[in-house]
A and B are shown apart, each in its own frame.
Chain A
Amino acid sequence: MSVLEVAGLRTHFFTRAGVVKAVDGVDFTLQRGEVMGLVGESGSGKTVTGFSILGLVDPPGRIVGGSIRYRGEELVGAPDERLRELRGNRIAMIFQDPMMTLNPVLRIDTQMVEAIQAHERVPKKAAWERARDGLGQVGIPSPEERLRAYPHQLSGGMRQRVTIAIAFLNAPELIIADEPTTALDVTIQAQIIYQAQKVCRERGAAMIWITHDLAVVAGLADRICVMYAGRIVEAGPTDDVIDRPLHPYTVGLLGSVPSANKRGQRLNQIPGMTPNMLALPKGCAFRERCARAGDACLAEPGITEPAAGRALRCFHPHGIEVPA
């Protein structure tokens, strides 16, 4: 059974200025031990997708349709108590800003022991030992000492490691990581990715890595979903999506990444800017920035499966090489 099955998820925000369809029809499934990269620019709905899975969408936002099944169990509309049982226990989240996750006035050990005891009847000493081992596993030197520290005494990379350790404390089956390395330096980013990758492999946990940086998930994810204006416009195995992108937006995104073979040349930029979510164009939301758009794009493109394991929402995809 797949760990997570999201089908037709729609999360809308009912603001005074109008309805923002932040997530508008997202489908994907996640198998045990699989790492999925959810890629998109700001405002594409990738974070709201993560929040919806955890039931963390606050008013004026609301899940208005679709289903989220964790091991077959429907989470949309599930009682708060059940969601609280799952959150931080079976499903964990790592946020972008570790200072938002950690309580600044509590010591690290207090917060970690609390996270364990909230879900399990464990004596304090055993919980403390588990917290210590958890810190060791994410590469924190002298974990006993660090447990007695307050968050402000740790560096940014250290704090993010603590939040990863907390996320993994109860051996969750699903981890949602929302841009956990965006605020960090490359060397620290590499360390965090390394630790997350290692712990996932050892525990067989599935992970959704939300990011705007295709290069990060290229080295990490098994599968990539590209989001644009609240929808997944392209999905598939990492190598396929990066080597043979089909959707013009994915092609544009890849062309925007500076890499060695294009040194000194103009980048293949996408014209225009991300659309206003309050006034999305009719039909394909990417239409106005797309060079391949035609009259057909005035209608909404449905999901097609142009090759095994791939999904696409486009009437005019780039050439697809069919393996002989």
Chain B
Amino acid sequence: MSVPLIEVRGVTKHFVKRLDLAGKIARRLGADVDEEVVHAVDAVDLAVRPGEVVGLAGESGCGKSTLGRMMAGILPPTDGEILFEGIAASEMSGAQRRAATLAVQMIFQDPFASLNPRLRVEQIIGEAPLVHGLVDRGGLSDYVDDIMRNVRLDPALKRRYPHQFSGGQRQRIGIARALAVRPRFLVCDEAIASLDVSIQAQVLNLFMDLREEFDLTYLFISHDLSVVEHIADRVVIMYLGRIVESAPTEQLFSAPRHPYTQALLADVPRLDQRKHDFSPVAGEIPSPLDPPPGCHFHPRCPHAMPICRTQQPVLREIAPGAFSACHLDGNSGT
């Protein structure tokens, strides 16, 4: 198998809420107060091969965005390693690191918040390639035109400001900005969630076209399973900071193994399933401040056994290419 384009090994992210002054004084005086730690991502391994589209799905608060931001290099992990083409970030030379940083770009959810309102579109798109020497000042204008055409935006609009565009067009500007540094890996964090249905389809089609044109690799983060199902080759499901299941898309949607995946899929409204009685999974996602011991899903799981309350199931290969972390799969937890 080829070397993964990007790989994370045992990556963990904790967010610590520091004690305020009152808390510190109370602790000095012997009160039982501690810093609150959110276990956003908990020892996750994930490898993305070149050319692959990996869908990352889960409920809000499951850590999917945090994992995406760490893979995009804009959030340092608390623990664990991130490798680009088999080389850990800590072992890279300066030039290698710069190449790796440019090769990984991110597309954000909110096209209203992620574009500088005071810059013209040509500046937003052209700034990074100019700074990084991908294009000189003389060629910049043509370069920006090319990139805009790539995302199906009219280059005639490049002197405009972001507020003069609709939501779908702004998202295209965000995509153009990422493409301008000729990346190989794009992290799309809920990149179409804020768009209208018909515009969603347009942007989703654009993502699929760009993948072929530029030979891109995606990590596609979305809470919307039907979107993930549509675009991804492989789907990874997260729950409370851990990966619970990972499998080729076809397999995951036709025969989900983990009870959480099963529950999630059953709850997705679909056009072809009508007038059915909703039988939702009980309860809500627990607080990541204080996740349940053992398997995080056991308080909501219909198949929970005593072992689930004490022992964390490990992610194991249960079929070629398919991984699940569940004690039901004969998982010993060792």
Where the two chains meet, the residues of A that have a C-beta atom closer than 8 Å to any C-beta of B are: 41-42, 155, 157-158, 185-191, 193-194, 197, 212-216, 218-219, 238-239, 242, 252-260, 262-264, 266-271, 273-274
Contacts and interface: CB of A to CB of B under 8 A. Distances in A.
A17 B115 CA distance: 26
A213 B197 contact: yes
Contacts of B225: 186
Q: Quick one: which of A187, A213, A242 has the most chain B CB within 10 A?
A: A187
A269 B201 contact: yes
B214 to A, nearest CB: 17
A186 B227 CA distance: 13
Contact of B201 (A185, A186, A256): A256
Nearest to A44: B196
6 contacts: A185-B285, A216-B269, A219-B274, A242-B274, A259-B226, A273-B199
A267 B230 contact: yes
A218 B270 CA distance: 7
A256 B198 contact: yes
Contact of A258 (B227, B267, B275): B227
B91 interface: no
Contacts of B280: 187, 190-191, 194
Given A253-B198, A269-B202, A258 B230 contact: yes
A186 B58 CA distance: 9
B281 interface: yes
A9 B103 CA distance: 54
B81 to A, nearest CB: 31
B237 to A, nearest CB: 12
B269 A219 contact: yes
Nearest to B197: A256
B196 A238 contact: no
B270 A212 contact: no
A238 B202 CA distance: 25
A268 to B, nearest CB: 7
Given A260-B229, A269-B205, A238 B274 contact: yes
Contacts of A269: 198, 201-202, 205
Contacts of B59: 185-188
B202 A219 contact: no
Q: Quick one: which of A213, A258, A260, A266 has the most chain B CB within 10 A?
A: A258
B275 A219 contact: yes
A263 B229 contact: yes
B21 interface: no
B60 interface: yes
A285 B272 CA distance: 29
A270 B196 CA distance: 11
A257 B266 CA distance: 18
Interface of B: 59-60, 166, 168-169, 196-202, 204-205, 208-209, 223, 225-227, 229-231, 249-250, 253, 263-264, 266-281, 284-285
B276 A252 contact: no
A219 B273 contact: yes
A191 B226 CA distance: 18
Given A186-B267, A190-B281, A274-B166, 8 more contacts: A194-B278, A194-B280, A215-B226, A255-B201, A256-B198, A257-B226, A263-B229, A264-B230
A270 B272 CA distance: 21
A242 B277 CA distance: 19
Contacts of B198: 41, 252-253, 256, 269-270, 274
A218 B274 CA distance: 5
Given A194-B279, A253-B198, A256-B200, A266 B205 contact: yes
Q: Quick one: which of B169, B204, B227 has the most chain A CB within 10 A?
A: B204
Given A187-B280, A219-B273, A238-B275, A274 B196 contact: yes
A262 B229 CA distance: 10
Nearest to A273: B166
Nearest to A259: B271
Contact of A267 (B201, B271, B275): B201
Given A185-B60, A194-B278, A263-B249, A219 B270 contact: yes
Contacts of B201: 255-258, 267-270
Contact of A273 (B168, B208, B275, B278): B168
Nearest to A289: B198
Contacts of B281: 187, 190-191
A188 B229 contact: no
B267 A218 contact: no
A267 B197 contact: no
A259 B267 contact: no
B270 A215 contact: yes
Contacts of A197: 277-278
Given A185-B223, A266-B205, A259 B197 contact: no
A158 B59 CA distance: 15
A190 B267 CA distance: 6
Contacts of B277: 194, 197
B52 to A, nearest CB: 13
Contacts of B200: 256
Contacts of B230: 258-259, 262-264, 267
A268 B264 CA distance: 26
A81 to B, nearest CB: 39
A177 B225 CA distance: 24
Nearest to B199: A273
Contact of A215 (B249, B250, B271): B271
Given A253-B197, A256-B198, A269-B198, A215 B227 contact: no
Contacts of B269: 189-190, 193, 213, 215-216, 218-219
